[in-house]
Amino acid sequence: MNTKLEQTTSVWMQSGEISVDTALTADIQTDVCVVGAGIAGLTTAYLLLKEGKSVVILDDGPVGGGQTERTTAHLSNAIDDRYTEIESWHGQDGARLAADSHTAAIDTIEAIVSR
């Protein structure tokens, strides 16, 4: 099968100034190391910083790259395995908890961005 793969560039990668830091050259001390500079990692780091923690973020690519860039960072509480799969393993309450947690995460990111 011969298919042409096209890749779009997210709006923030086209228009935003992305900070690029060099690789670590020495050991550092931090409370928390977050692996991944996508929307989940950055949100985690932000919330930890707000709680007074020292945080370092490690990634092998640009800030906002990876999955965040490829999906244009759309936020959805839909999941790959569907809630019916979670329900089969964890019951209706478990599926509801998963849905509520995804929705709460989206609300948190929206509140951060709105500041």
- Examine the pLDDT at 27 and tell me if it is beyond 60: yes
- Examine the pLDDT at 90 and tell me if it is beyond 90: yes
Say what the pLDDT of residue 67 is.
Answer: 77
DSSP codes, the chain: ----------HHHHHS----PPPP-S----SEEEE--SHHHHHHHHHHHHTT--EEEE-SS-TT-HHHHHTTT---S--TTHHHHHHHHHHHHHHHHHHHHHHHHHHHHHHHHH-
Say what the pLDDT of residue 65 is.
Answer: 79
Which of the four pLDDT bands, split at 50, 70 and 90, describes residue 64?
confident
- Examine the pLDDT at 5 and tell me if it is beyond 60: no
In the chain, where the domains are located = 30-74, 78-115
Which of the four pLDDT bands, split at 50, 70 and 90, describes residue 80?
confident
Global pTM value: 0.74
